[in-house]
């Protein structure tokens, strides 16, 4: 199967969002995917996880420190995982 990734997003006057979708196996355990040193194994005995399991932890940590929301769900576009980040644009016209 060819690997496919799609990046999309939107910006309005006060909100923005972007998502990264793929056609992989998806995420089975949404509760632990953002925890430090955890990887979703998808209950697939043929899959061997690589990496350390810290990437998504830092994505969520840094995003939340910036006041953003991060979540993962099944991709309606490609059928794999969809990682969504959204937030509010804080605009100060006086620059103070």
pLDDT in tens, 33-65: 999 988 776 555 455 567 788 999 999 999 999
Residue 52 contacts residue 26 (beta carbons within 8 Å): no
Task: Give the model's pLDDT for residue 50.
Answer: 72
Residue 38 contacts residue 53 (beta carbons within 8 Å): yes
Q: pTM to 2 decimals?
A: 0.78
Q: Domain-by-domain residue ranges, the chain? A: 5-88
Sign of the C-alpha dihedral computed for residues 9, 80, 63 and 49 taken in this order = negative
Task: Give the model's pLDDT for residue 4.
Answer: 95
- Protein fold of 5-88: Heat Shock Protein 90 (3.30.565)
Task: Give the model's pLDDT for residue 70.
Answer: 96
- DSSP string covering 4-50, please? -EEEEEEE-SSEEEEEEEE-SS--S-TTTTTSTT----TT-TT----
**Rounded mean pLDDT of 63-89?**
94
């Amino acid at each position: 199967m060819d690997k496919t990734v799609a990046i999309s997003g939107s910006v309005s006057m006060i909100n923005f969002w972007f998502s990264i979708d793929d056609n992989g196996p998806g995420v089975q355990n949404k509760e632990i995917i953002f925890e430090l040193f955890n990887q979703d194994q998808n209950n697939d005995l043929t899959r061997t996880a690589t990496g350390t399991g810290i990437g998504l932890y830092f994505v969520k940590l840094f995003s939340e420190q910036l006041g953003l929301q991060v979540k993962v769900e099944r991709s309606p576009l490609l059928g794999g995982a969809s990682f969504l980040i959204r937030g509010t644009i804080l605009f100060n016209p006086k620059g103070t």
